[in-house]
Amino acid sequence: MPSTRLVHRSEFCAAFRLNNPDFDEAWNAATFGVCNSPHFHGHNWQMEIEVEGAVDPDTGMVLNFLHLDKLVQAEVLQPLDHKNLNIEVPFLQGVLPTTENLAACIWQRLAEVLPEGVRLVEVRLQESASHSVAYQKS
Ligand SMILES: [Zn+2]
């Protein structure tokens, strides 16, 4: 049975600090560099959500993009955009907000709300022109 993939692109900006409290200041400074700044700093993440499913013969769609917009908005952008990830986001409490960990959390949130028959394929987060993360969960 053929399947079709959709890609949804968006972006969000947030402040954060990478710091693992299980290690001392020197280890954190050496490991996370400028991202360990005690006064926080910001990144702009470009996000791509890829989903897959069969095209519904009645609608001609896998999933209405307007529906996907609403899910991404409610589950990811509204909770993260222009927030401090260390302080303001309940589902990131206790999570070291690396791009790898953010991608996994975003996957978890979206996987729970996608309609039946639509499968999450990959969450891609680009944190800078040269660095991006692709997360998949089998
Ligand atoms: Zn940084």
CA of 90 to the centre of ligand 1 (A): 21
Q: Is 127 a catalytic residue?
A: yes
Residue numbers in the chain where pLDDT is lower than 50: none
Q: Which of 82, 100, 112, 131 is catalytic?
A: 82
pLDDT at position 107 is: 98
8, 35, 88, 122: the active-site residue: 35
What share of residues in the chain are helix, strand, coil (percent, to 5)?
30, 30, 40
87 Cα to the center of ligand 1, angstroms: 16
User: What per-residue confidence (pLDDT) applies to 138?
Assistant: 72
**Dihedral sign computed on CA atoms, order 8, 10, 14, 20:** positive
> Is 82 in the active site?
yes
